[in-house]
Structure 1
Amino acid sequence: MTTATLPQTRVSFRLLAETFLVFGILMAASIACLGWESPARWLVLAGLIVGQGLWLDRMYIAAHEAIHKKLFPDHPALNDALGTLLLLPVAAPFTVYRKIHFFHHGHNRRDAHTANLDTFPTARPLTPLRRGYYHAVWIFFVFLGGFFVHSIAAVLIFLLVPAARAEKISPVFKHWRGSRRLRAWAEFAGGLGFHAAVWWALGFEAWMVALGLPLAVFAWVWSLLLYVYHYDTTVGPDVRHNVRSLPRQRFFSWLLLNFNEHATHHYDPNIPWHQLPDRRDILPEAHHHNQGVTSLWQAVWQQTKGPHIEEIADVGEFSVDLGLMRR
């Protein structure tokens, strides 16, 4: 029996066991490495920190399954509780993640300034200096962890800014009820509490190598990969197809839970991660341009071209999509 044909509950338990076990092993190994008397200690520790940063991305994507209610579809409370637990190390509120991500699926690149991260609308004259500024902002967002900073700002808006004012920033904030805000506060506090507990119990150095520095690696990797499945793809009302898939690469397909099959995920977000390769959706001919890259590395490098800059008479209300949409 292949993974694709296993019952969903069994697959989810296996996924969670693997995800939490590896997280714990990397965390323990990093802390143990602090006391290792060897010239190679710092090299090994650097490898463990990078590995944990990549694994935090795995935990974030495992939580993405819970966002779509696919971990335990018959047990919504358990599904959401485990999704919240997966996000504790990155202190991302599960409720905010779901709200923004659902907006992303419903409005992905609908037009030049709705859920479209690589288009910068401007009502000001586009001088060479302004064009260079926008390009620098994009490079910061993608290659220097800026999208992670952008998402922290989104979380703070969800937590602190009154809904009526937040809606003027982006339609993603519409219908943000007080009960959801309270739940998001509890989830955010849980993440901060997890970090504080590790710091208090094990000390600053242990927290730094087990969580602090890996979180910085996660912020960089997450920003780097955030838009590789949508950069320079089609724009228009057929929002399910404004996306690309990438060829399978064994390590990354395992690490990122088949996220390379992104066109299939957008075509039907209800397909569990382990069934994506067998249920692959082929983009319509009008969207074949989206498949203009042949590897993950090419998709990353393509983003150095910078953003599309559109001069418009009035920017008005537009969605910046606020990062946490997750690819």
Structure 2
Amino acid sequence: MSATELVASARLTSVARTSDAPVEVQAASVPGAASTASRSYKALIPARLNLLLAAIFGISQAYFLVLYPLGLIREPSAAIAALVVSVALAYPSWVLIHEGIHNMLYPARDANDRVSRLLSILHGSPFAVLKLVHLLHHKYNRVEDYAEAYDPARTSWSRAAVHHYYTVLAGRYWSEVLACLIVWLPQGRRDQVIKDLIGDGEMGRRIKSTLAKKSTLQEARTDAALCLALLGASFWLYRHDVWVLLAALSGRALLVSFFDDAYHYGTARNLPEAPQPARNHELGPSWIVLHFNHHGLHHRYPSLPWSALPAKAREEGLVYDGGFVASALRQLRGPIPISELPAPAPTAGSRARTGSSSKVLNGSAVTEERT
């Protein structure tokens, strides 16, 4: 299948940013599109590898939650080393959940969702909530969804700094865990909490309306109960060494939160006609994060499986916006007044963005396309 056909089918499931359509446009809603999308992207999913990774990540997260305190590994140094590895795998585990959010973990939808829900429970948050919020992130990225930007007329720098540093150092993850409690609130109280946390914009309203649906809420509550039960069991098992569990959970929160927002820090405000403002960060062995460092590319082609991103990057001569770790460390500069963010530029590509340290692959820059 040609690159043109692949890009066309990617758009069939990309997020509709300017319409009142559902969060994710389904290929089946376009005449003749379902079979095209199936032939293209579903065929690219590394299904067996994804299931193997799901098993590895699932065991690793179960290890630090329940198996470590049970003394599965008797040798202390080996047990601690395994614990550290388990915490480090929290980030690629989240990336695999992200594949499931885009229905790209496994070709069969039921299997995709079952594996994603299991991994999400081990992650500590209901899959239904993770999926809802992430797809809305695609729709409202840099329109309503800012982590670091603030309005000096409404908020002081110090207050914005507390919010920003908490978000990037731990809060992004803990907000996902907090969802386990929020979904159990009565609708009126739940809606108020969502408004307080996210605001009263379109993104918050979409979250409230979706969680009001019986099927979505039932699934979220079922998974939330399992998340809380697992977390409670972990604290009981670690009751004599609670600090070890808190350290492990803090490490998971740091990795997920710190690298999740790094691709968007300081990027331009968004307009419907502008390309998705997300960066691509250079990382040598990018397979260790399932190529999630190609984040700008993912925003343009959200239906491309993770394994297909490097080839797409080479095809387009992708320009990287700095290194993976160095770019994430930029977040430590603190919050940014919203007026100081770069202005949206409909024709801006990776090379046009200011403040980037770019390395060109194949000698050319990317011309970004709106999904």
Task: Give the TM-score, by structure 2 length.
Answer: 0.66
> Matches of 1:90 and 1:13 in 2, distance apart?
17
Please show how residues 1-327 of structure 1 align to structure 2 within 5 Å: 8-23=46-61, 28=67, 31-32=70-71, 36=75, 41=76, 45-73=79-107, 75-110=108-143, 114-124=144-154, 130-143=156-169, 145-153=170-178, 156-160=181-185, 161-162=187-188, 165=192, 166=194, 169-173=200-204, 174=206, 175-176=209-210, 177-179=212-214, 180-197=216-233, 204-205=239-240, 213-237=247-271, 238=273, 240-250=275-285, 253-280=286-313, 292=321, 294-310=322-338
Question: CA RMSD for the aligned pairs?
Answer: 3.3
Instruction: Tell me which residue corresponds to 2:368.
Output: none
Q: Which amino acid aligns with 1:32?
A: G
1:138-189 deviation line (CA, Å, top 9, x unaligned): 223223x233334444554444253654466443342323321221111111
Q: Say whether the 8 Å CA contact 2:142–2:277 is kept in structure 1.
A: yes
Cα drift, residue 123 of structure 1:
4.0
Distance 1:158 1:182, change over 3 A: same
Distance 1:23 1:223, change over 3 A: closer
1:281-306 deviation line (CA, Å, top 9, x unaligned): 7599xxx8xx54x2122112211221
> Matches of 1:206 and 1:6 in 2, distance apart?
45
Q: Say whether the 8 Å CA contact 1:84–1:93 is kept in structure 2.
A: yes
> Matches of 2:233 and 2:241 in 1, distance apart?
12
Higher normalized helix content (fraction of residues): 1
Q: Say whether the 8 Å CA contact 1:30–1:49 is kept in structure 2.
A: no
Q: Which amino acid aligns with 1:137?
A: H
Greater RCO, CA 8 A, separation 6+ = 1
Cα drift, residue 76 of structure 1:
1.4
Q: Say whether the 8 Å CA contact 1:105–1:240 is kept in structure 2.
A: no
The number of residue pairs the alignment matches comes to 284
> Matches of 1:34 and 1:19 in 2, distance apart?
18
Instruction: Tell me which residue corresponds to 2:349.
Output: none
Distance 1:70 1:208, change over 3 A: farther
Q: Say whether the 8 Å CA contact 1:225–1:300 is kept in structure 2.
A: yes
Distance 1:205 1:49, change over 3 A: farther
Cα drift, residue 233 of structure 1:
1.3
> Matches of 1:259 and 1:228 in 2, distance apart?
11
Distance 1:96 1:194, change over 3 A: same
> Matches of 1:131 and 1:212 in 2, distance apart?
30
1:30-60 deviation line (CA, Å, top 9, x unaligned): 7438854xxxx4x655543332212122222
Distance 1:53 1:25, change over 3 A: closer
Q: Which amino acid aligns with 2:91?
A: D
SS in 1 for 2:229: helix
Q: Say whether the 8 Å CA contact 1:241–1:263 is kept in structure 2.
A: yes
Q: Say whether the 8 Å CA contact 1:49–1:213 is kept in structure 2.
A: no
Cα drift, residue 87 of structure 1:
1.4
Q: Say whether the 8 Å CA contact 1:118–1:231 is kept in structure 2.
A: yes
Distance 1:48 1:208, change over 3 A: farther
Cα drift, residue 259 of structure 1:
0.3
1:242-263 deviation line (CA, Å, top 9, x unaligned): 001111321xx23321101111
SS in 1 for 2:71: helix
Q: Which runs of 5+ in 2 are unaligned?
A: 1-42, 340-371
Distance 1:232 1:18, change over 3 A: same
> Matches of 2:240 and 2:72 in 1, distance apart?
11
| Mean Cα deviation higher: 62-71 or 162-171 | 162-171
Distance 1:283 1:91, change over 3 A: same
Cα drift, residue 108 of structure 1:
1.0
Q: Say whether the 8 Å CA contact 2:44–2:308 is kept in structure 1.
A: no
> Matches of 1:152 and 1:20 in 2, distance apart?
17
